[in-house]
Amino acid sequence: MLKGSGTRKLGGRDTLRAFQRFLGWSAVVLFVSLFPSRAHAYTWMIKHGYSSCPVCHADPSGGELLTQYGRVQSDELLRMTYGKPSGGSSHSEPKAPRLVRNLELKTDALSGADDEGKDAKPDEKADDEEAPAAATAEEAAPDAAAAPEQSSSSPGDFLWGLVKTPDWLLLGGSYRHLMVIRPSTQAKKFSTFPMMADLYGQVQVGNFRVEGSLGVVRVGVGSPYARAAQITTNQGDQWNLLSRTHWLGYDLADGTITLRAGHMNLPFGVRIPEHTMWVRQATLTDRESAQQDGVAFAYNGEKLRGEVMGILGNYQVSPDKYRQRGYSLYAEYLVGERTGIGVSSMVTKAKKDRITLEPDPLRQAHGAYVRSALTDELVLLAEADALLTSDHDFGYVGFAQADYEITRGLHLMATGEILNRGYDQLVAGAKTVGNGKPQLGVWGTVDWFFLPHCEFRADAYRRQEDDFTILGQLHVFL
C-alpha cells in the first residue's frame, strides 16, 4: 500500500481526473490566499493502539503534518462511518506497526506488527526491521487502503486522496473557523472569524528530512496570539506570514531516533489541540505560537518514548532580551498497551518576560501526565504541573479530560482544569483567582468527525472570572 507511487502524474487519464486535480489544487490556492490554521494530534489515539506518534505524524512527538499512514488512519479511525457497522473494538484492529524509515526505498514503510503484540498475526510480524518488503508492508496495512494499482485515489494521498505525491514529499494543511458565543455577557455576544490556516510539507532524502509550515494571519495590536510565529514584521493590525514550525531532521535506528534542529513545538506534557487550555497556556507550551528554536533528540521505542530539546530562543521575536533559553523534555512509558505515563520538565531563562513584562524571569514547569484508554470508547487524559516562576509564589496548573466515543467519529468530552500562576510579588496587591488563589474551569465538548478530514467541534466552558462561553469550530485538514 505504501510502496512508492513513482513519479507523480498530473492530469490523469480522463477529464474527470483532471478536474479532480484542478479542484484539489484550487483548494490549496484558496487556503494559501485566505487565513491560516493548524491540524492537531489526537493523543486519545492510544485507544487504537497508537501509543507512539511518528507512525502517523512527521513530528516524532506528534501533531501537524500527517504521514501517508496517518492519513489513512484518520480516514479509518477518526471519521464517522455512516451506514457501516460501527462495531468492532479496538482490540480487534491490527496492532499499530512501528514506523520504519527505509533508507533505500526513501519512503515511510511499515515494519510489521510489534513483536510483543499477542493479537498480532504471524504474517504481520516483521522478520527484518531493517528492510521491510513491500509484501510485508501491504499485509500490515489496513484493508481499507487498497493497492495503488486497483485505485485511482487512496485515502493516504493528499487532498482526500485526489493528489498523489512522490514518496519523498508529504503535504498537509488545515483551516479552522471559530464562532464565539457569550450569551450572558454585557459585551459582544457573538463573534466569528477564521482562526488559522496553514500549509505544511516535508521533503525526505534518505535519512534527512526538511519540514516547514507557512500560513497567514491578522491579529490586533497587543494580541497574545500568532505574533511569536510571525516571519513578516507588521506589528499592527495587518496581514502577516507566519511559520510555526520549520526544521531539519535526521533519522537513526529505523526512525526510532530523530535528531532535529529548527523551530519546533516544545516537548512537554500532553500534546492536546486546545491551545487555550491552561496547562498549555500557563506553561507556554501550546502549539499555537509557543514554538522555539533549538535542537531536539527524540526517541520512540516500544515502551519508552520521549524528547529533549535544548531551547536557543525564538528568533522570530526581538530583541534578544525576550528570548527564553533553556530546555524542555518529556518521557513517557507505556504501561500495558493502552496507558502511557509521562513526566515533563522545562526550565527557561530570559532577560525580560514577554508575557508579564517582568525582568529576569526564570520559568520552571515540572509535572506528570497520563493518557489511558480505560475502555474501547473511553480515554482519560490528565496532566498536573508545578509552576515555579521568579518573583512569584509557588503555582500549579492541571487538567483532566475524559473522552467518550459514542460511535466512531462522535466524541463527548468533559474537562476540568485548575490554575494558580503563583502570587505575583512584583505586582503585589490582593491575591486573586489565578494569582495566589486557584482558578477553576469546566468544559463540555462534542467533537464530530463528519467527513474525512472534516471536523466540527462545539465547546461550552465556564471559567471563574470569565463569562459562560460557547465555541463552535469547523476544522478542515488536508
Partner 1 sequence: MMHESKTRVARVSLAVALLVGLATFGSARSASASSKFPDALQKALSKRFPGVAFCVPTCAACHLTTVGGPGNLNVFGANLENQPMPGNLILGNNGDVDKKLDDAIGRYFAATPAVGLPQASTMFPAPDVTRPSYDADRDGISDYNELAKLDSPSQALPSGVHEFCPEDAAMYGCGARVASAPPPADRLGLFGAGLLVLGLAAFRRLKRRPAAG
Segment 292-331, which members bind partner 1 (CB under 8 A)?
A: 315-319, 321-322
**428 touches partner 1 (CB under 8 A):** yes
CB of residue 172 to partner 1, shortest distance in Å:
13
Residue 83 neighbours by CB distance under 10 Å: 6
**452 touches partner 1 (CB under 8 A):** yes
Q: How far apart are CA 210 and CA 365, in angstroms?
A: 30
SS3 147: coil
How many chain residues interact with partner 1 (CB under 8 A)? Answer: 106
CB of residue 322 to partner 1, shortest distance in Å:
5
Residue 170: which residues within 8 A CB-CB, separation 6 or more? 58, 65, 66, 67, 68, 201, 202, 204
Q: How far apart are CA 292 and CA 287, in angstroms?
A: 10
Please, which residue, 393 or 467, has the CB nearer to partner 1?
467
CA 31, chain centre distance (Å): 19
CB of residue 204 to partner 1, shortest distance in Å:
25
**429 touches partner 1 (CB under 8 A):** yes
Q: Which parts of 9-28 interact with partner 1 (CB under 8 A)? A: 10-11, 13, 15, 18-27
Determine which residue in the list 69, 175, 200, 247 makes contact with partner 1, applying CB under 8 A: 175
**89 touches partner 1 (CB under 8 A):** no
Length of the chain: 478
Q: Which amino acid is at 84?
A: K
**217 touches partner 1 (CB under 8 A):** yes
Do residues 272 and 43 touch, judged by C-beta distance below 8 A? yes
Please, which residue, 25 or 448, has the CB nearer to partner 1?
25
Determine which residue in the list 6, 30, 250, 468 makes contact with partner 1, applying CB under 8 A: 30
Do residues 351 and 321 touch, judged by C-beta distance below 8 A? yes
Residue 273: which residues within 8 A CB-CB, separation 6 or more? 40, 41, 42, 287
**227 touches partner 1 (CB under 8 A):** yes
Task: Strands of 320-453 (E only): list them.
Answer: 325-335, 339-349, 362-373, 378-389, 395-407, 410-420, 432-433, 436-437, 439-451
CA atoms within a 13 Å half-sphere pointing along the CA-CB vector of 17: 12
Stretches 85-93, 129-137, 157-165, 367-375: which one binds partner 1 (CB under 8 A)?
A: 157-165
**187 touches partner 1 (CB under 8 A):** yes
Please, which residue, 87 or 222, has the CB nearer to partner 1?
222
**155 touches partner 1 (CB under 8 A):** yes
The residue written with cell numbers 486535480 in the block is 21
Please, which residue, 104 or 143, has the CB nearer to partner 1?
143
Please, which residue, 234 or 407, has the CB nearer to partner 1?
234
**177 touches partner 1 (CB under 8 A):** yes
Stretches 66-74, 106-114, 350-358, 369-377: which one binds partner 1 (CB under 8 A)?
A: 350-358
Determine which residue in the list 33, 104, 118, 122 makes contact with partner 1, applying CB under 8 A: 33
Sign of the torsion formed by the C-alpha atoms of 352, 355, 358 and 363: negative
**195 touches partner 1 (CB under 8 A):** yes
Task: Strands of 65-189 (E only): list them.
Answer: 99-102, 107-110, 169-181
CA–CA distance from 10 to each of 19, 163, 164, 368 (Å)? 11, 8, 9, 48
Determine which residue in the list 4, 142, 194, 472 makes contact with partner 1, applying CB under 8 A: 194
Stretches 113-121, 219-227, 363-371, 410-418: which one binds partner 1 (CB under 8 A)?
A: 219-227
Q: Which parts of 125-154 interact with partner 1 (CB under 8 A)? A: 146, 150-153
Q: How far apart are CA 2 and CA 475, in angstroms?
A: 27
Please, which residue, 116 or 465, has the CB nearer to partner 1?
465
Q: Quick one: which H or E segment has residue 72? A: helix 68-73
CA atoms within a 13 Å half-sphere pointing along the CA-CB vector of 346: 28
Do residues 455 and 423 touch, judged by C-beta distance below 8 A? no
Determine which residue in the list 96, 159, 270, 381 makes contact with partner 1, applying CB under 8 A: 159
Determine which residue in the list 160, 268, 369, 461 makes contact with partner 1, applying CB under 8 A: 160
Determine which residue in the list 225, 297, 299, 404 makes contact with partner 1, applying CB under 8 A: 225
Determine which residue in the list 239, 250, 394, 468 makes contact with partner 1, applying CB under 8 A: 239
